Structure 1
Amino acid sequence: MEHTETTVRQSADPAQDASLAPLPVPHVYRGRTVTGSAIRHVSRDLGQGFCTPRIELDDLVWPRAESGPAFDIPVAKIIDFLVELGPRLHLDVNPLMQAALESMIKVSPLGRRILENCYRDIPNLFLREVIEDELRVSLGDARLVDGWVERTLRGRPSRLRAFPPRLVHILAGNSPMVAAMTVMRAALTKGVHLLKLPSNDLFTATAILRTMAEIDPDHPVTQSFSAAYWRGGDENVESILYRPQYFDKIVVWGGESAVRHVMRYAGPGLELVAFDPKVSISLIGREAFASDEILREVARAGAADVLSFNQDACNASRYQFIEGDEDDADRYCEQLALALGEDYRYGDGQGPLVPSDIREAVDVLREMEPIYRVFGGYDGKGLVIRSDEMVDFHPICKTVNVVPVKSLRDGARHATVATQTVGIYPPHRVTEVRDALACAGVQRMVALGESISDGVGGYPHDGMFPIHRFMKWVSEESGPNQEIR
């Protein structure tokens, strides 16, 4: 595959003037670690300079004339390998994960405490029961990934297989869990996988892949993965890689611009699988006002949902609809603003400062009390706006819009196809709204305070079972008594 000097120059130009000492970012080519500093870049969020090896495009693809390394290995052996990998990823015993954490702190705005919690939770994604549930629920019959399964439809014999795919995964960097989930799910497909590293998580995926190589560099699963960084939108790389002669599907995580960019490459033979950008909400029933103690507990649960990776995740609550009048809503807002100033496992009590555009919008709302009321401040400890209608800006950086409603059904009317997760209090009242929420396009309903979960182990993700969607479903229908005409 041709890789011109033009590609290298265009990939290099964004970071030539980086003022910070560049971090070395290794690549992994089919299980083999490659180091180098040929290309300079700058990370998106914190402006940290980093350097990568020169991209070798030929090493990022697997020839279609050959089966992938894991195509014919029994999935039970893949599960055994992943289960062995889990304990090896524990932060206390893995120097690669330790080094990845230290480097991640320089490119991710999440900070050391949240990042360390993420890294300590990554091994849980490789527990046997999690992996087996993920495969069983996604495929229904795990035999489908190992070979051709006999079936009969309307008296006609045929065979079905979930055939190993060839996938590009464009990872998001708002949580290290994305890389770990991707490796686990991808390995179970038995396919071949190219991971495009995001500039705000350059190290988690490669640390996991390099740990796999330490266990067994020749293992088929190890050799089924490559990981590399290139600047998103570099057509000299993407126009060559994103072709059906190399890959079946592009799996993209990220914002609207990232998804729309990749859509231009989708077409016959190259399918797009998108984990789209989403917004999440909360529905809180009148039961929250049963006592002051219960109200504080509900506010803490509401804050936990807001603070999913400092409100930078799709499952982070941004709008909360509470069953009551304005006075009730104000009581809740007071407690919510206080709760947002506390630390949670994946959220900081002291977060980033509120952006200037939101400050300017909220300053205008302050002048319109009592129609609007504002609680908290712009200092990163939490900002809550109570309003009769949803505000017309996008709440970020620990900003929450609380809207009083007459009933949870009224709150549910604000859900759309862009709504991912809905946290509900009390949990039993989900039965009042779940059908309406599903009709609106909602993909997930949880008890308030439980929006942050691993999202694996048999649960759907963004309205699909990812492994099922990743596979190439192939039917063979040449029955033994069928005449060919």
Structure 2
Amino acid sequence: MTQTLLVPHMIQGRLLDAAAVEHASRDRGQSFSTPTLDLDQLIWPRGSEPPAANLPIDQIIDFLVAVGERLDLDNNPYLRQALDDMAQVSELGPRVLENCYRDLRHMFQRSVLEAELQCNLGSKEVVDGWQALDLHGQKNRRRAYPPRLVHVLAGNSPMVAAMTVIRGALTKGVHLLKMPSNDLYTATAILRTMAELDPEHPVTRSFSAVYWRGGDAAVESILYRAQYFDKLVVWGGESAVRHAQRYIGPGFDLVSFDPKVSMSMVGREAFSDEATLREVAARAAADVLSFNQDACNASRYQFVEGDSESVDLYCQFLAQALQNDVRYGNGQGAPTPKDIREEVESLELLEPVYRVFGSYDGKGLVVRSEEPVDFHPNGKTVNVVPVASLLDACRFATVATQTVGIWPAQRRAEVRNSLASAGVQRIVTLGAVNGIGGFGGMPHDASYPIHRFMRWVSDEGED
């Protein structure tokens, strides 16, 4: 933690690695240095089309597939260096980070890319030029025109950077990626891999990835303008989204992936025998541990059909299961945050209305209550609430609820309409929050991002 890390920038296929400006990472206070920003280098003049605007989409997909083949952690020096440096700024830990980096290449498979484009836009052809439309007896044309986007990335998962690069390439647009202080390396590792494959490829020249301190008006007041970009794409918490809104105006729109809260629903079938209950608890724990409970899809509230005695047994098994590593989460985490510990300790005094399982040493806490607690469960803390039925649990879902994991799987159909009406965006089988969700053709936060990114332009009338 004493050595200053060097964070390179990638500018339209070129590497800049001068140590000119010093910063400190948000989560761990690690010092790092970056090149000086030249704002003129971070825009693509509107007087010329984006580099990939007229490149056939099949060629772009071919290029992305080739990039994915090179994203092999064992043979890619940029990923290896990124993994080493990321361990200094990320709270995920080396094991989870390595699993993420080993899985990045799967996101670049041809079938995934084609499904993402097909489901977002309806066809590949819509980005390859002007499509003829015969509407109301009149000849018209439309085009999903390549956009100019600034992306403010989140750092809670390396997959965010990969997802952004893939979606950006499929739009054929130009993209400025603002890296977060807790993921300073994933985006540049991917872009350096692109540049090694072909530094002059139109897709390579369509991306830049840089860092500046979030909220720096000297940078943002210049870049966040309609004369340079069409939209601002923001991942992050409420403060990040509200900050971005101040720059939105005519010709400059906001696409936000807002902060969300996820939950689980467990049917009475879980109590058929002890082996089943332990399996269900393990599934539920995996959903809690998603990126160390720092992802929107991580379960924080769980609603379980059963009486207090049965549900307490479930809580006991869940607390035990939280101690086990999963692919994207650590069984041993940091000690419970001070504010959470104080809240839970006050509830322990109210037993049996509340019961607490687990420990404050980073292995996980489970709080059983008759109604959801009024604090935000975090730091490997989960709130379990007994309910008479899964339909009863639907009343706790809101528009801020992203993912709901349900067990057993066949009971999803029983509640999915009620959950959708409440505002829920994604329903999965318990234990599967880190499945395909939000990518590879499925909606992301109740919409299709590439469709939102594009500029839909019409050309009306006879030729």
Matches of 2:349 and 2:196, distance apart in 1: 61
Corresponding residue for 1:475? Answer: 458
* Alignment partner of 1:77 is 2:59: yes
Greater than 3 Å deviation, 4+ residue runs? none
State the one-letter code of the partner of 2:460. E
Q: TM-score, normalised by structure 1?
A: 0.94
Shift of 1:427: 1.0
* Alignment partner of 1:300 is 2:277: no
Gaps of 5+ in 1: 1-18, 481-485
Q: Secondary structure at the match of 1:394?
A: coil
Matches of 1:124 and 1:23, distance apart in 2: 29
Matches of 2:285 and 2:266, distance apart in 1: 12
* Alignment partner of 1:331 is 2:313: yes
Corresponding residue for 1:250? Answer: 232
1:194 is aligned, of 160, 176, 184, to 176
Q: TM-score, normalised by structure 2?
A: 0.99
State the one-letter code of the partner of 2:445. D
* Alignment partner of 1:232 is 2:232: no
- Residue pair 2:300, 2:381 contacting (<8 A) in 1 also: yes
1:388 is aligned, of 362, 370, 375, to 370
Corresponding residue for 1:3? Answer: none
- Residue pair 2:238, 2:258 contacting (<8 A) in 1 also: yes
* Alignment partner of 1:340 is 2:322: yes
- Residue pair 1:283, 1:412 contacting (<8 A) in 2 also: no
- Which moves more between the two structures, 97-106 or 454-463? 454-463
- Residue pair 2:138, 2:461 contacting (<8 A) in 1 also: no
Shift of 1:344: 0.3
* Alignment partner of 1:462 is 2:445: yes
- Which moves more between the two structures, 282-291 or 149-158? 149-158
Shift of 1:21: 1.9
Corresponding residue for 1:161? Answer: 143
- Residue pair 2:13, 2:207 contacting (<8 A) in 1 also: yes
Corresponding residue for 1:7? Answer: none
State the one-letter code of the partner of 1:134. E
State the one-letter code of the partner of 2:198. D
Corresponding residue for 1:447? Answer: 429
1:135 is aligned, of 117, 121, 128, to 117
Gaps of 5+ in 2: none
**1:422-442 Cα distance to aligned partner (Å, 9 max, x none):** 000011111111111111110
Q: Secondary structure at the match of 1:413?
A: helix
Matches of 1:456 and 1:387, distance apart in 2: 35
Shift of 1:38: 1.1
1:375 is aligned, of 343, 348, 357, to 357
Matches of 2:391 and 2:361, distance apart in 1: 34
**1:156-207 Cα distance to aligned partner (Å, 9 max, x none):** 2110110000000000000001000100110000000000000000000001
Q: Secondary structure at the match of 1:310?
A: helix
Shift of 1:361: 1.2
- Residue pair 2:177, 2:207 contacting (<8 A) in 1 also: yes
Matches of 2:14 and 2:138, distance apart in 1: 46
Shift of 1:453: 2.3
Once the two structures are aligned, what percentage of the paired residues are identical?
64
Matches of 1:336 and 1:115, distance apart in 2: 24
State the one-letter code of the partner of 1:327. E
Q: Secondary structure at the match of 1:86?
A: helix
- Residue pair 1:299, 1:335 contacting (<8 A) in 2 also: yes
Matches of 2:461 and 2:219, distance apart in 1: 41
- Residue pair 2:22, 2:33 contacting (<8 A) in 1 also: yes
Matches of 1:467 and 1:154, distance apart in 2: 28
Q: Secondary structure at the match of 2:163?
A: helix
Matches of 1:368 and 1:320, distance apart in 2: 20
Q: Secondary structure at the match of 2:233?
A: strand
**1:207-232 Cα distance to aligned partner (Å, 9 max, x none):** 10011000000000000001110000
CA RMSD of aligned residues (A): 0.8
Matches of 1:331 and 1:472, distance apart in 2: 54
- Residue pair 1:41, 1:49 contacting (<8 A) in 2 also: yes
